[in-house]
C-alpha cells in the first residue's frame, strides 16, 4: 500500500542519503564485505541481530500480541530471514517504521531489511537505491464502506470523502482511478493507522482505502460489528507487497530471495515445521539439497548448508506462515498460493 504520496522519489532518496552520511557513510555504497561476502550479513553477525523494519500496527502482518511478541506475516518473514542469516530466528530486532520513514531507515542502515507491506514499483526500485528481493503478498487497493451507505461499487462513490494514509501508493492508486473514471473525491489524510480507522468508524469519511488485505483484517477485527462494514469487490490497482534490501549487497539480496524460495519448495514437497526431521533419509535430490544433506547450496550464499532447514524448522513453509497469520483473518489465499495450487508463488530450482 505504501508509496511516495506528496514526496517525490528524488526527495525521499536524498533524505535517505543525508541520513546515511550523518551516521558515517553513504547507504548506497555498502561497507566492504569481509568473511561472508555480504557487508549486511557481516554486520548482523557482529551485532548478533538482524534489524528488520516492520509496521507493528497491522493485524495479520505485524502487531504485538498480549505478551508483547510481534506476530504476523511480515514479522515471520523477518524471523525466516534471521534464521537463514544467523541460524536462530529469535535473533531479530523488530524496528517499527512509518510509511514515510521506512525507506530512509533502510537507506541509512538503521535496518537491514524492510518487511512492511511495501508495494514493488519501478519508481521505488529505480530511484531509492533499494530493491525488492521477493513478494510475500500479492495484493491490491480496495475500499471499505459502511453497509448503511448502500454503496455497492467504487463507481458509486463520485464526490466521496476517502480516508487514506499519506505517503502511500494507495493515494496514487485512488487518484489514478478517479482520474480515469472522470470522478472527484476528497482525501482525508491521516498518518496514524489507529486514527484513520477511528475516523472512518466515526463517519468522518465515506470510505477507508488501503490494501484489500489490510481492510479485510481490520473488518475481521471488529468482531460482531464486522457485518456493518462492506469490502467492495473492486480492486483498483496491483500491489505486490515485497521485502526490500539495499542495492549493492548482492549476497544479502540472494540470502533474502532464497529464504523465500526455500519456504516455497518446502511447501511443494510437503515439508513442514513439524515433520522436517522425517526427511533426513530422503532420496529426493531436491529435498536433500534443500535440507543441506548434499551439495553446497548454503555455502554459495555465505551461509551454513542447513540454512533452509533452519528457516523451515523455525517458521515452517510458506503455507504454514500464511495459515498461522492470514487465514484466521478470513482472507482466502487465492493468488498467494503456490503455483501447483493455481497461485503466483513459484520458486526457481535450488541446484
Q: What pLDDT, in 10s, does the model give residues 300-338?
A: 999 999 999 999 999 999 999 999 999 988 888 999 999
Give yes or no for a contact between 31 and 25, defined as CB atoms under 8 angstroms apart. yes
pLDDT at 34: 63
pLDDT(172) > 60:
yes
CB atoms within 10 A of CB 44: 25
Say what the alpha-carbon torsion angle 249, 252, 253, 258 is, to the nearest 10 degrees.
160
**What confidence tier does 33 reach under pLDDT thresholds 50, 70, 90?**
low
CB atoms within 10 A of CB 87: 16
Mean pLDDT calculated for residue range 201-211: 96
The reply to whether domains 9-139+240-341 and 141-237 share a CATH topology is: yes
pLDDT(97) > 60:
yes
Mean pLDDT calculated for residue range 245-249: 98
Q: In the chain, which ranges are E strands?
A: 50-54, 63-64, 70-71, 92-96, 113-119, 130-139, 141-146, 160-164, 185-189, 207-211, 229-231, 239-246
Query: What predicted TM-score, i.e. pTM, was given to this entire model?
Result: 0.83
pLDDT(14) > 60:
no
pLDDT(263) > 80:
yes
Mean pLDDT calculated for residue range 107-119: 96
Percent pLDDT > 90 in the chain is: 83
pLDDT(19) > 80:
no
Domain ranges for the chain, please list them. 9-139+240-341, 141-237
Mean of per-residue pLDDT scores for the chain: 90
| CATH 3.40.190.10, applies to 9-139+240-341 | yes
Mean pLDDT calculated for residue range 148-163: 96
pLDDT at 331: 86
| CATH 3.40.190.10, applies to 141-237 | yes
What is 172-224 written as a DSSP string?
Answer: HHHHHHHHHTT--EEEEE--SHHHHHHHHHTTSSSEEEEEHHHHHHHHHTTGG
Amino acid at each position: 500500500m505504501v508509496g511516495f504520496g506528496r514526496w517525490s522519489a528524488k526527495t525521499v532518496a536524498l533524505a535517505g542519503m543525508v541520513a546515511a552520511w550523518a551516521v558515517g557513510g553513504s547507504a548506497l555504497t555498502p561497507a566492504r564485505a569481509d568473511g561472508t561476502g555480504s557487508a549486511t550479513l557481516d554486520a548482523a553477525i557482529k551485532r548478533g541481530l538482524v534489524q528488520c523494519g516492520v509496521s507493528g500496527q497491522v493485524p495479520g502482518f505485524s502487531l504485538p500480541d498480549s505478551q508483547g511478541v510481534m506476530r504476523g506475516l511480515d514479522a515471520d518473514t523477518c524471523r525466516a530471514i534471521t534464521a537463514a542469516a544467523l541460524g536462530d530466528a529469535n535473533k531479530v530486532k523488530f524496528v517499527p517504521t512509518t510509511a514515510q520513514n521506512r525507506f530512509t531507515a533502510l537507506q541509512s542502515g538503521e535496518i537491514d531489511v524492510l518487511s512492511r507491506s511495501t508495494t514493488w514499483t519501478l519508481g521505488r526500485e529505480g530511484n531509492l537505491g533499494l530493491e525488492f528481493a521477493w513478494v510475500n503478498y500479492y495484493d491490491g487497493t480496495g475500499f471499505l464502506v459502511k453497509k448503511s451507505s448502500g454503496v455497492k461499487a467504487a463507481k458509486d462513490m463520485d464526490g466521496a470523502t476517502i480516508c487514506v494514509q499519506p505517503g502511500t501508493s494507495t493515494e496514487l492508486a485512488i487518484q489514478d482511478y478517479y482520474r480515469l473514471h472522470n470522478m472527484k473525491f476528497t482525501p482525508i489524510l491521516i498518518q496514524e493507522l489507529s486514527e484513520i480507522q477511528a475516523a472512518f468508524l466515526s463517519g468522518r469519511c465515506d470510505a477507508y482505502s488501503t490494501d484489500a488485505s489490510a481492510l479485510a483484517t481490520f473488518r475481521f477485527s471488529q468482531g460482531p460489528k464486522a457485518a456493518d462494514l462492506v469490502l467492495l469487490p473492486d480492486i483498483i490497482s496491483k500491489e505486490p507487497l515485497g521485502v526490500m534490501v539495499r542495492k549493492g549487497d548482492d549476497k544479502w539480496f540472494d540470502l533474502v530471495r532464497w529464504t523465500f524460495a526455500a519456504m516455497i519448495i518446502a511447501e511443494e514437497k510437503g515439508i513442514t515445521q513439524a515433520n522436517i526431521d522425517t526427511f533426513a533419509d530422503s532420496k529426493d535430490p531436491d529435498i536433500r539439497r534443500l535440507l543441506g544433506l548434499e551439495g553446497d547450496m548454503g555455502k554459495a550464499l555465505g551461509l551454513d548448508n542447513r540454512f533452509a532447514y533452519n528457516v523451515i524448522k523455525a517458521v515452517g513453509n510458506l503455507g504454514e506462515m500464511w495459515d498461522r497469520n492470514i487465514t484466521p483473518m478470513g482472507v482466502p489465499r487465492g493468488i498467494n498460493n503456490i503455483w501447483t495450487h493455481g497461485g503466483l508463488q513459484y520458486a526457481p530450482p535450488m541446484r
